[in-house]
Structure 1
Amino acid sequence: MAKLVQFDRIGGPEVLTLRDVEVGAPGAGELRIRVDAIGLNRAEVMFREGGYFYEPTFPSSLGYEAAGVVEAIGEGVDGFAEGDPVGVVPAFLQTDYGTYGDHVIVPATAVVARPADIDPVQAAGVWMAYITAYGALAEGGQVRPGDHVLITAASSSVGLAAIQMANHIGAIPIATTRGAGKKQALLDAGAAHVIVTDDEDLPSRIKELTKGEGVRLAFDPVAGPGVETIAQGIAPGGFLVVYGALDPRPTPLPNAQSFPALSTSTYTLHELTTDAERLRRAVAFVNAGLSSGSFEPVIDRTFDLADIVEAHRYMESNVQVGKIVITVAHEDGTV
């Protein structure tokens, strides 16, 4: 038997229940993973609340990320052996698979080798954050050395990964945070500048920091009407990439009547992780950054699997800077 987090209705953290289930053997194209650590993501909160881009089917599992070891291999799966240290990347729907458990079955296409010097807690904080940042900042070549990059909601794990990635490329990361309480943490994390949006006018401050030029790329998970304000700080010919929908209100499309010419696009992690070649490039890029020390996942706090409700409440508090990780204790004493 395995322990698996499930929920039977839309709601707050209290709907999450840790249950004993029969995990079974992996099917064709699948792997069974002994999970050592789980990375929490805002997408899972939205999924639990019924505000994600697809609806749960009950009883529903959840979870996109995990680090552990291969426990069993399904038919037709090559390139893995039992005992291999691995990470699970978001490359599936949570209505089909989930990582919130101590033993889980996932598609082999969502599993990547874990570098030997990256422990499970750090590894659980890597893939959602760094591949999301990679797709927008690095893959398309939109960000070049010396470019200014605006990173909104920068204290999230994706925001912190984007700060590190901008520095890795040689760009200049400008981070935003609503309140002043996280400003120093963002500077310590590598942001060249931090704009506190509750206290400062965003477009004016961007123009001041960039000597009137504006940023080449703005990387935003919030969406909603605020994109119009962000667009005012983008340089002519620059890029606005919206990769989330934390603000449920309609998102206007900036247009040439109000702003300099710019390219706007949406971006989802799944368009990259479900493409084998693009995922291969992303993993190679991120692993190179981890090996060189340019990338270092920021772990805010860890919780035990039994405390999953508390962990979700903590995520909803929005006080964290970096990744929230669930650790999984096993009967042999390993975590």
Structure 2
Amino acid sequence: MSRVVVFDRFGGPDVLRIVEEPVVEPAAGEVRVRIEAFAVNPLDLMMRSGSMPAAVALPHARLGVEGTGLVDAVGPEVTGLEAGDPVILTAVPDASVRGSYAEYTMVPASRVLARPAGLGVAEAAAIWVAYSTAYGALVEKARLRPGDHVLVTAASGGVGRAAMQIANQIGAVPLAVTRHAAKTDDLIAAGAAAVIATDRVDIAEAVRHHTGGAGADIVLDLVMGPGQQDLLAAARPGATLVAAGFLDPRPTPFPGGTSLTIHGYRSFEHTLDTVVVRRMAAFLNAGVRLGALRPAIDEVFGLDDVVAAHRHFEKGIHAGKIVVTV
């Protein structure tokens, strides 16, 4: 049997419960993964609360788009993977049916990658969503280059921290945006070239100061909402803004009359593309090997404490990823 986290109604963390389900055999092209750990992501909270734009079928819905574990069994027609191989999940498109909040899950063999050498289980559970999102937004969409000044909002979160490390690996200059000046030292330690605390300074003025008056070359907006107008003012003419987040539920004004190139971005745009995933994996493995890419872990919970993990996430005070070990 497999212990699985499910929910039968939308609501707060308390709707989550653990049940036991039979362990089934993988179908053709699939692998069964024994999950060792998974990370909590904003998408999980949206699914659980009922705020997802896409429908989530109740009751008995599952959660989890990220995790790491060992291949437990391989289905017919699967090559290149064997039982015991340590892997990370790269995409769980049907998370409400086969999410990673479980002792075992089944995914297409094409949706797992070898776990990068040198990562512990908690780090491996926390690396893919944040780093693939940041890489896809900055490298694949915005064409980040050495020397570019990159303005990163929600810099204390998992994607924000990944974006700063990726910028440093490429030779760009990450400028971190935070609402609280108290986070300055932590963000500098996390890789920011400079920190812009909106409780102290105006974003546009601060960015001009740090870029010699030019403005940011790339803006990674992980928040959205009305505050995006301040980011547009902080960018140089002809810059690129990538909207890759949804932390502010308020409407985002249409950015009319701007010379910026603006992209919307969701990670499944690239994590379902095997060619891009190969590039992501190569970049990730190189960064881990060189010590340039390393996920920050805020706190680790056990599976029995998954409700507490969600409560902790909702407080919004975490610095790095929240991980649950199975």
Query: TM-score with structure 2 length normalisation?
Result: 0.96
Q: C-alpha displacement at 1:215, in angstroms?
A: 0.4
> Hey, what does 2:232 align to over in structure 1?
231
Give the letter for the 2:105 counterpart: V
SS in 2 for 1:195: strand
State the superposition RMSD in angstroms.
Answer: 1.3
Q: Give the match's secondary structure for 2:240.
A: strand
CA distance in 2 between partners of 1:110 and 1:164 (Å):
24
Q: How does 1:148-163 map onto structure 2 within 5 Å?
A: 148-163=149-164
CA distance in 2, matches of 1:83, 1:187: 39
* Counterpart residue type for residue 169 of structure 1: I
Name the counterpart of 2:50: 50
CA distance in 2, matches of 1:38, 1:119: 12
Deviates more, 1:269-278 or 1:113-122: 113-122
Amino acid at match of 1:39: A
Aligned residue for 1:288? 286
State the shift of 1:64 in Å.
Answer: 0.6
| Partner of residue 132, structure 2 | 131
* Aligned-pair CA distance for 1:90: 2.6
- SS of equivalent residue, structure 2 residue 300: strand
Equivalent residues, number: 325
> Matches of 2:261 and 2:142 in 1, distance apart?
14
Tell me the equivalent position of 1:17.
Answer: 17
Once the two structures are TM-superposed, the CA of residue 91 in structure 1 deviates from its matched residue by 4.3
Paired with 1:155 and 1:125, the residues of 2 have a C-alpha distance of 15
Give 3-state SS (helix, strand or coil) of 2:169's partner: helix
Question: 5 Å matches for 1:192-231?
Answer: 192-231=193-232
User: Bigger CA drift: 4-13 or 19-28?
Assistant: 19-28
Task: Verify: 1:105 aligned to 2:106, yes or no.
Answer: yes
Deviation sequence 1:84-121 (CA, Å, 0-9, x none): 00001234132332000111112222211112322211
CA–CA separation in structure 2 for the residues paired with 1:219 and 1:53: 22
| 8 Å Cα contact 1:220-1:241 kept in structure 2 | yes
Gaps of 5+ in 1: 329-335
The structure 1 residue matched to 2:307, chosen from 298, 306, 309, is 309
Deviation per residue, 1:115-134 (Å, 9 max, x gap):
23222111011100111111
Out of 276, 286, 293, which is 2:274 matched to? 276
2:26 maps to amino acid: P
Q: Is the deviation greater in 202-211 or in 232-241?
A: 202-211
1:146 corresponds to which letter in structure 2? G
Identity %: 45
Superposed displacement of residue 183, structure 1: 1.7
Correspondence for 2:321: 323
Name the stretch that deviates more: 109-118 or 2-11: 109-118
Larger deviation, residues 241-250 vs 304-313: 241-250
Does the CA-based 8 Å contact 1:311-1:324 persist in structure 2? yes
- CA offset at residue 55 of structure 1? 2.4
Q: Structure 2 counterpart of 1:310, which letter? A: A
- Runs of 4+ with deviation above 6 angstroms: none
Aligned to 2:137, what secondary structure does the other structure show?
Answer: helix
Question: Residue deviations 1:116-168, cap 9 Å, x none?
Answer: 32221110111001111111222246221111100000111110000100111
Could you tell me which residue of structure 2 aligns to residue 332 of structure 1? none
Secondary structure at 1:225 match in 2: coil
What one-letter code is carried by the residue in structure 2 that aligns with 1:15? V
Q: Which residue is 2:175 aligned to?
A: 174
Q: String of CA shifts for 1:38-58, please: whole Å, max 9, x gaps.
A: 111111111111112312112
Task: Give, as a single letter, the amino acid of the residue that structure 2 aligns with 1:10.
Answer: F
Q: CA deviation at 1:76?
A: 2.0
Paired residues of 2:142 and 2:242 also in contact (CA < 8 A)? no
More deviation, 89-98/201-210: 89-98
Cα separation, 1, equivalents of 2:214 and 2:100? 44
Give the Å deviation of 1:199: 2.2
Amino acid at match of 2:129: M
Q: Counterpart in 1 of 2:37?
A: 37
Q: Which position in structure 1 is the counterpart of 2:74?
A: 73
Match of 2:297 in 1: 299
Q: CA deviation at 1:223?
A: 1.1
Q: Deviations over 1:171-225 (max 9, x none)?
A: 1100011112322111111101111112221111111111211001110121112
Q: What is the SS of the residue equivalent to 1:125?
A: helix
Is the 1:4–1:18 Cα contact (8 Å) retained in structure 2? yes
